[in-house]
């Protein structure tokens, strides 16, 4: 029997879990009440990825010995891995009731605290691990990480350096030290840490991003863009958010430092990702080498899907005024009463910022929001102001809907359209006689063109062009007022709020 147990132990150590399980099950047949063998079988099941069966074995062990330290600890660990943090903490606590100095239980409680953002609890138990063994790399690196998340960067750096003293080739410790130094506004020292981390492991692509940020803080735009480009170029199947962030970095470089540098990397970007719609749009916006008439739908969708969770806060930080301006315009031009309210379409409704403002003008079940981004639609639904939310391209929707609206609003929507002619015709067709079309657009101060794709990837328009397009679509412009729409890079962005109306032909004189 001892030889069989020894063989099982060797197989388990070699990660031959299925073979080890067979031997432990044989041992268990001879000793079905063996706590040790039940736990060993549970460990084998866990190693094979069958966590449900592992939990079953650990509970069987607890039936034999309710104070089984190993059984309780393994349950704590497996529930932590399953992200059932309540159960993980419960079983770790039971372990400490049996053995107050069980280091693994401290670690489980610390990890649970960290994962639930209870950093004080996490720090308490990581520090107990460190006090028990001040050579523990695991304790030191986790204390550093916890201090960093708490915003205590000096202490985070101290423990990151202690981790490096113990393990000089620790990539995680170098990254933590670099992040702490960046947060302490010491980008030159952060660069040294990040550079060493990348030398140790060039597969850690996030270090390239960190280097880009550090060089940006040093106002070294050449290295900032270079490392950001390496990050994008080497990322396997880079997500939309990665491409978008690089595009906005190039725009910032273009606006703040070096148009030539931005254009150089925009050309590289376009050449490396020739079929990516986000890259096509944003790179061409930088180098101005395109005759794009409108933003590609894929670009718009990817942009707003990426920004949806933080969109409201981002616009609040920009002092975004378009919804307020549309509300004020409607208040002046729209007749309402308790019994007279309107059927309204909110084009490009986003997260519903405009909908919240204009809901009071809408009839019961009369406010419809349309947006291309399903993530924006999800956020808008949380505001509970729309009777219906539709995920669709706004032009496609207007072309195919059977509804006619008393009011159509579009808050900052035309920044993604250059040529407005087709869109305005569709709006006109969907309005009732006397219906109002209220919208904002950004002013073209770059040149004398009707519209222009700026380096930010957004279109701007001339006021005279907008008025002409409205007229050609059969709409009469009532007012066009210049306002600050938002701030961008701490500078005001000017534009216009427009009120237009569809004439009521029945009221026109004959002859």
Domains, the chain, with CATH or none: 2-229 (1.25.40.10), 307-507 (3.40.50.150)
Confidence of residue 295 (pLDDT cuts 50, 70, 90): confident
Q: In angstroms, rounded to a whole number, what is the distance separating the alpha carbons of residues 122 and 354?
A: 42
Number of other CB atoms surrounding residue 355 within 10 Å? 25
* pLDDT at site 306: 87
* pLDDT at site 488: 83
What is the 8-class DSSP label of residue 40? H
* pLDDT at site 240: 86
Q: In this predicted model, what pLDDT tens digit does every residue of 4-18 receive, in sequence order? A: 889 999 999 999 999
Residues of the chain with pLDDT > 70: what percent? 97
| CA 309 to each of CA 198, 296, 323, 378, 487: distance values in angstroms, whole numbers, following the listed order | 31, 22, 19, 9, 20
Contact 148, 166 (CB under 8 A): no
* pLDDT at site 291: 65
Question: Which residues are registered as beta bridge partners of 476?
Answer: 501
Q: In angstroms, rounded to a whole number, what is the distance separating the alpha carbons of residues 51 and 45?
A: 7
- Per the listing, tokens 């701030």 go with 487
Q: In this predicted model, what pLDDT tens digit does every residue of 104-121 receive, in sequence order? A: 999 999 999 999 999 999
Q: Which residue has the higher pLDDT, 337 or 451?
A: 451
pTM of structure:
0.79
* pLDDT at site 511: 47
Pick from 196-210, 334-348, 353-367, 407-421: least confident: 334-348
Q: In angstroms, rounded to a whole number, what is the distance separating the alpha carbons of residues 178 and 57?
A: 44
**Cα distance between the two ends of the chain:** 111
pLDDT exceeds cutoff 70 at 99: yes
Burial class (CB in 10 A: 0-12, 13-18, 19+), 25: middle
Mean pLDDT of 395-415: 95
Q: In angstroms, rounded to a whole number, what is the distance separating the alpha carbons of residues 425 and 433?
A: 14
* pLDDT at site 207: 96
Pick from 207-211, 353-357, 373-377, 455-459: least confident: 455-459
pLDDT exceeds cutoff 70 at 210: yes
* pLDDT at site 337: 55
Q: Which residue has the higher pLDDT, 334 or 352?
A: 352
* pLDDT at site 381: 97
Q: In angstroms, rounded to a whole number, what is the distance separating the alpha carbons of residues 440 and 479?
A: 12
* pLDDT at site 39: 96
Most confident of 60-64, 236-240, 274-278: 60-64
* pLDDT at site 510: 47
* pLDDT at site 59: 97
Backbone angles phi and psi of 368, in degrees to 5: -110, 130
pLDDT exceeds cutoff 60 at 289: no
Confidence of residue 490 (pLDDT cuts 50, 70, 90): confident
* pLDDT at site 62: 96
């Amino acid at each position: 029997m001892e030889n069989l147990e020894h063989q099982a132990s060797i197989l388990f150590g070699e990660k031959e879990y299925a073979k080890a399980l067979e031997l432990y099950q044989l041992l268990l047949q001879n000793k079905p009440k063996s706590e040790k063998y039940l736990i060993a079988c549970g460990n084998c099941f866990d190693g094979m990825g069958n966590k449900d069966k592992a939990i079953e074995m650990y509970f069987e062990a607890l039936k034999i010995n309710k104070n089984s330290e190993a059984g309780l600890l393994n349950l704590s660990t497996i529930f932590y891995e399953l992200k059932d943090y309540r159960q993980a903490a419960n079983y770790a606590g039971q372990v400490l009731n049996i053995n107050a100095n069980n280091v693994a239980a401290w670690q489980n409680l610390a990890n649970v605290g960290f994962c639930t953002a209870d950093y004080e609890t996490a720090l308490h138990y990581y520090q107990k691990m460190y006090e028990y063994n001040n050579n523990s790399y695991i304790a030191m690196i986790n204390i550093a990480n916890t201090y960093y998340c708490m915003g205590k960067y000096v202490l985070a750096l101290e423990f990151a350096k202690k981790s490096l003293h113990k393990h000089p080739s620790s990539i995680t410790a170098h990254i933590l030290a670099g992040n702490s130094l960046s947060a302490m506004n010491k980008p030159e020292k952060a660069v040294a840490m990040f550079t060493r981390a990348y030398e140790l492991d060039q597969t850690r692509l996030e270090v390239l991003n960190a280097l880009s940020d550090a060089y940006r803080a040093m106002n070294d735009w050449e290295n900032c863009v270079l490392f950001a480009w390496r990050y994008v170029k080497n990322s396997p199947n880079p997500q939309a958010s990665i491409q978008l962030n690089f595009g906005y970095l190039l725009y910032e470089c273009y606006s703040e430092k070096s148009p030539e540098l931005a254009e150089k990397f925009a050309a590289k970007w376009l050449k490396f990702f020739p079929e990516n719609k986000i890259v096509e749009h944003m790179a061409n916006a930088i180098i101005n080498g395109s005759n794009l008439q409108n933003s590609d739908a894929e670009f718009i969708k990817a942009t707003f899907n990426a920004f949806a969770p933080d969109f409201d806060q981002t616009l609040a930080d920009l002092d975004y005024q378009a919804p307020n301006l549309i509300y004020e315009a409607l208040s002046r031009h729209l007749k309402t009463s308790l019994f007279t309210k309107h059927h309204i379409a909110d084009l490009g409704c986003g997260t519903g910022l405009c909908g919240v403002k204009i809901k009071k003008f809408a009839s019961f079940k009369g406010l419809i929001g349309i947006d291309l981004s399903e993530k924006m639609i999800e956020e808008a639904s949380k505001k509970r102001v729309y009777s219906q939310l539709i995920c669709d391209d706004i032009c496609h929707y207007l072309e195919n809907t059977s509804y006619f609206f008393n009011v159509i609003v579009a808050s900052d929507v035309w920044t993604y359209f250059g040529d407005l002619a087709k869109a305005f015709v569709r709006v006109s067709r969907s309005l009732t006689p006397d219906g109002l079309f209220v919208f904002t657009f950004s002013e073209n101060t770059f040149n004398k063109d009707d519209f222009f794709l700026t380096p930010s990837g957004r279109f701007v328009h001339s006021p005279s062009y907008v008025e002409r397009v409205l007229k050609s679509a059969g709409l009469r412009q009532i007012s066009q007022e210049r306002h600050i729409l938002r701030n961008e890079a701490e500078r005001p962005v000017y534009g216009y709020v427009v009120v237009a109306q569809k004439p009521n032909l029945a009221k026109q004189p004959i002859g």
